[in-house]
Amino acid sequence: MNTMKEVNETRITLRSHEAVVENVNNGISMNRRTVIPSDLAISMLGILEDEAIVTHLLREKSFDQVFEGFFNLQNYNGEPLIEEMNAIIDLAFRYIDESDCDSEVLNSFFLTLVSRFDPNDFSEKETIKALRRFLSKVREFENSDIIHELFYYLLDEVNLLGDLKGAYAGRILKQLLTRARNSLDKEMIHSLFQVTSNVADQEWVLEVLERYIPKKKACSSPLLPKNCFIYQEMMDGAKLVGIEVEAQRFDIQYHRKRFEEVGHPKLLFLFTLRGQRVLSCKIVCVKDQVLTPETQLYRYPFSNVHNNTSTCWPDLRSYQMKSIAHVGTMPFAFIHSQNNEHLFIGVNLGEKYNELQGKDFDHDTLELLDLSFAGWLEVSKKTLN
């Protein structure tokens, strides 16, 4: 009885461009075939340890060089790599979660992902979800300045007061105030109030501040004279009163001669008072029927008025005004007072009065002043300060 043990083995012979594989049964060659080296290597991978395979792959090439060739080949063949990429990323995250990974490696991995992140490739819901997860970690920062800079950047990107509706801006401002109120950060509230008040309409500011302003009696004017175009009281008690006199004819006393119904242009008298005393008087002429800030002013065409519109009226300070209403009589006191040639610009004032008797004044002959109605009032107010 033959008790010889049967011996089976596989013998591989390597040649320059091929390998010869044959099965040997008790020394007898059987099933002999030729294979290419790559097929032989792949068939042997199953008996190798994973570490040995990776070590061999990385012996002469870097990790990215090895996989770059693989991905390029798959992309060239038009085969999708979604599953492979998901598997690689999943392995990377698993490694990060389970190992004591260096923070530098983790940061590098995260920044690489962020640099390739394009919100346009995702839905708005997915993008917001990712941002909220990230921002939830930002709260743990010890340095609040970093959070502030991030907030400023977001405001610049969304153009809060430009692109968004008022409701969204109001919601953000309310949240800021709530945080400030809870933390008693008065400096923050003060800063926020200054910024918003600078861009707000005056009516809005007054609407908010109204409840903080003590209710006091409103300032009221006294009984004003007819045709009063301005009444203003200064802090030091001085008063500015303006009287408008329509174009008409007046009887004039010029030296010893009397001229009747002399035509005068439309006049504006501006008086300054302190108490009952009249301190000064200015006179200009106008053509406009309705006064506006842009109304042009003209020089008084007769005598006793300086180029700056102030009057030469020696008896002015002798008048006592028991009430503001009495100021309305002052223009007529000036017109009917004794006239002379002082400060008159022309050849003969007497002849001018004579020519204007029984005639309306021709406003086209007035001399224009380089001054508007608003400018005249402003200059007059400054002289009282």
pLDDT (average), residues 34-39: 76
Do residues 250 and 354 both lie within one domain? yes
Instruction: Clarify whether residues 244 and 306 are in a common domain.
Output: yes
Cα–Cα separations (whole angstroms), residue 107 to 40, 44, 102, 111, 113: 42, 39, 9, 6, 10
Give the whole-angstrom CA distance, residue 21 versus residue 10.
Answer: 7
For residue 188, the model assigns a pLDDT of 67
Cα 159 → chain centroid: 9
Look at residue 64 and tell me if it is in a domain: no
Q: Are 170 and 266 members of one domain?
A: no
Domain span at residue 256?
228-382
312: in domain: yes
Q: Within a domain: residue 31? A: yes
| Dist CA 369 CA 299 (whole Å) | 6
In three-state secondary structure terms, 184 is coil
User: Are residue 180 and residue 315 in the same domain, yes or no?
Assistant: no
Residue finishing a domain among 145, 180, 212: 212
pLDDT of residue 25: 80
Answer yes or no: is pLDDT of 304 > 90: yes
Q: Is residue 74 part of a domain?
A: no
The domain boundary, picked from 160, 177, 212, lies at 212
CA atoms within 13 A on the CB side of 147: 11
Domain count, the chain: 3
The reply to whether 159 falls in a domain is yes
DSSP secondary structure of 246-296: -SEEEEEEETTEEEEEEEE-EEEEEEEEETTEEEEEEEEEE--SS--TT-E
Specify the pLDDT at position 47: 76
Give the pLDDT score at 165: 52
Q: 266 and 350: one domain?
A: yes
Predicted confidence band of residue 134 (pLDDT cuts 50, 70, 90): confident
Mark whether 207 and 243 lie in a shared domain: no
User: Do 365 and 247 share a domain, yes or no?
Assistant: yes
Q: Which of 89-93, 140-144, 240-244 has the lowest mean pLDDT?
A: 140-144
The neighbouring-strand residues paired with 252 are 259
Query: Is residue 146 pLDDT above 60, yes or no?
Result: yes
**Confidence check: pLDDT of 156 > 70:** no
| Same-domain check for residues 170 and 263 | no
pLDDT of 160 reads 47
CB burial of residue 286 (10 Å; 0-12, 13-18, 19+): buried
Q: Does 140 score more than 70 pLDDT? A: no
263: CB partners within 8 A, 6+ apart: 247, 248, 249, 356, 359, 360, 361, 362
Q: Are 248 and 264 in contact (CB under 8 A)?
A: yes
Return the pLDDT at 161: 47
Same domain, 284 and 323: yes
pLDDT for 335: 96
Stretch 44-72: mean pLDDT: 70
Does residue 355 share a domain with residue 253? yes
- Of the pLDDT bands very low, low, confident and very high (cuts 50, 70, 90), residue 30 is confident
Average pLDDT, the chain: 80
Count CA atoms within 13 Å of residue 63 on its CB side. 2
pLDDT surpasses 90 at 330: yes
Residue 59 — pLDDT band, cuts 50, 70, 90?
Answer: confident
> Looking at per-residue confidence, does 332 or 33 come out higher?
332
Task: Between 309 and 79, name the one with better pLDDT.
Answer: 309
Neighbours of 29 (CB within 10 A): 10
Answer with the one of 212, 240, 267 that is the final residue of a domain: 212
Chain segment 332-368, per-residue pLDDT in tens: 999 999 999 999 998 899 999 999 999 999 999 999 9
Is the Cβ–Cβ distance between 300 and 312 less than 8 Å?
A: no
Answer yes or no: is pLDDT of 204 > 70.
Answer: yes
Q: Is residue 67 part of a domain?
A: no
Residue 301 has pLDDT above 70, yes or no: yes
Examine residue 60 and state whether it is found in any structural domain, yes or no.
no
Read off the pTM: 0.47
Whether residues 200 and 246 fall in one domain: no
Which residue shows structure tokens 């991995």? 109
Between residues 316 and 54, which one has the greater pLDDT? Answer: 316
* Pair 202, 236 in one domain: no
173 pLDDT higher than 60: yes
> How large is the average pLDDT for residues 4-23?
75
218 inside domain: no
Give the whole-number percent of the chain exceeding pLDDT 90.
38
